[in-house]
Amino acid sequence: MSEQAAPQHRQITVTEHLLLHQKQSPTATGSFTQLLYDLILAAKLIARNVTKAGLLDVLGGTGEINVQGEDVQKLDDYANRILIHRLQRTGVLCAMASEENADVINIPDAFRRGEYILIFDPLDGSSNIDVNINVGTIFSILRRISPSDQDVALSDVLQPGYKQVGAGYVLYGPSTMLVYTTGQGVHAFTLDPSVGEFLLSLSNVKIPETGKIYSVNEGNVSYWDEKTALAAASFKGSDNPRGAPYSHRYVGSLVADFHRTLLKGGIFMYPMDYKDPDHPKGKLRLMCEAAPMSLLAEQAGGMASDGRRRILEIIPDTLHARVPLYIGSKNDVQHVINKLK
Ligand code: P6P
């Protein structure tokens, strides 16, 4: 079970938590702490605007279409610019990639470079902003594989998810939460706006082995193949790991749906569908959505699959590769994998 954080007077900041972990992992360096520090600063700036979205002129779209073919909302454009501006100065990155940008983002010559690569979805679920539903920033951290004295190659970025040295998300909602892993468990921090610090609220988060909630956009059922439809339908009856019907919950914002699955268990599904020409491989992006969430899920004792393969073993063929995603309690995910065979 997840461990509630210490009483008020012993609360731990992210930086203290990272430094504590660094002592336990000799390979960790201050670079990672610096990277997370700048990521957190960007998140606080994004949180400030997200929580005031109704007051500032940041609602609605910019009129532009992004590389995904989606309307760019003003806030996700803001979030993208803040992350690129802050993180290119952190001195520990050699490249970045954003869900909003078609190509790899190089670090300008004016800034010091490092060994890490940051891949992010600046504001996932942004279509929900105008109706005040949770949105989030998702991030994935890789270490370059080519020699430091060479230019970053696309092969440095297109690595399978098990190569991630860190992953996490910031959830902007009733409270702003940071959830991350560096391969030593999953830990959750809640932003205390009165001091501007993320304070540890849950350590060593564990996903229950079997859940009671399934999460999928049932409106797509006519676009699924038969096995997918039967797998989703199984959670409405007793032919499932629980032996009883599950509750259905679907926010339509991956960070919110995943966060609930991480804490309460169950399964989140975004199957392949025939609704959109891009969706035969699913809607969600492998590198900035599925892979970071899958590292978190596995670190919390859960499971993540595309229906056949472990997400973390899939080697991206392109920067914006998409995958079907089945993620959450290991018994529930395995049940779906068995149904899809
Ligand atoms: P649908 C948001 O646009 C997103 O990328 C994820 O955050 C979310 O899980 C999914 O799309 C929702 O897609 O087709 O159900 O609206």
Determine the distance separating the centroid of ligand 1 and the alpha carbon of 37, expressed in angstroms: 28
**Can you give the pLDDT at residue 60?**
66
The predicted model scores a pTM of 0.93
Provide the pLDDT for residue 244. Answer: 98
Q: Give tens-digit pLDDT for 85-107.
A: 999 999 999 999 999 999 999 99
Residue 25 lies in a domain: yes
pLDDT at 9: 54
Q: Which residue has the tokens 């929900």?
A: 128
pLDDT of residue 124: 95
Instruction: Give domain status of residue 208, yes or no.
Output: no
Q: Which of 203, 227, 253 represents a domain boundary (last residue)? A: 203
Residues 8 and 30 in one domain: yes
Other C-beta atoms lying within 10 Å of the C-beta of residue 23? 8
One-letter amino acid identity for 6? Answer: A
Q: How many domains does the chain have?
A: 2
Which residues form the pocket of ligand 1, taking CB atoms under 6 Å from any ligand atom?
124-125, 127, 217, 252-254, 257, 270, 283
| The last residue of a domain, from among 140, 169, 203 | 203
Q: What domain range includes position 70?
A: 4-203
Cα of 216 vs centre of ligand 1, distance in Å, is: 10
Same structural domain, 168 and 302: no
Of residues 141, 186, 150, 157, the one with CA closest to residue 38:
141
Q: Is residue 293 part of a domain?
A: yes
Q: Are residues 157 and 246 in the same domain?
A: no
DSSP annotation of 310 reads: B
pLDDT tens-place string over residues 272-299: 998 887 667 889 999 999 999 999 999 9
Q: Are residues 94 and 151 in the same domain?
A: yes
Point out the residues of the chain with pLDDT beneath 50: none
* 220, 232 Cβ separation under 8 angstroms: no
Q: Candidates 254, 255, 274, 281: which one to mutate for ligand 1, based on the most atoms within 8 Å of Cβ?
A: 254
Residues 159 and 230 reside in one and the same domain: no
Query: What CATH number is attached to the domain comprising 309?
Result: 3.40.190.80
Q: What was the pLDDT predicted at 157?
A: 97
In a domain, 31, yes or no: yes
pLDDT for residue 57? 62
> 119 and 194 share a domain?
yes
Q: What is the pLDDT of residue 96?
A: 98
Q: Are residues 39 and 122 in the same domain?
A: yes
On whether residue 87 sits in a domain, the answer given is yes
Let me know whether 156 and 114 are in one domain. yes
Same domain, 151 and 283: no
Could you tell me if residue 328 is inside a domain? yes
Q: What is the pLDDT of residue 130?
A: 79
Identify whether residues 55 and 193 lie together within a single domain.
yes
Do 248 and 161 lie in a common domain?
Answer: no
CA dist 76 → 86, 169, 175, 213 (Å): 15, 15, 19, 29
Instruction: Tell me the CA–centroid distance for residue 8 and ligand 1, in Å.
Output: 36
Distance CA 334, CA 336 (A): 5
Long-range contacts formed by 9-17: CB under 8 A, 24+ apart: 11/199, 11/200, 12/199, 12/200, 13/189, 13/197, 13/198, 13/199, 13/200, 14/40, 14/178, 14/189, 14/197, 14/198, 14/200, 17/187, 17/189, 17/200
Quick one: 227 and 324 in the same domain?
yes
Please check whether residue 153 lies inside any domain of the structure: yes
Q: Which pLDDT value is given to residue 170?
A: 97
Question: CATH code at 189?
Answer: 3.30.540.10
Other CB atoms within 10 A of residue 154 CB:
13
Whether residue 24 is contained in a domain is answered as yes
Ligand 1 centre from 75 Cα, in Å?
Answer: 17
Nearest atom of ligand 1 to the alpha carbon of 257: 9
Domain endpoint, select from 203, 230, 251: 203
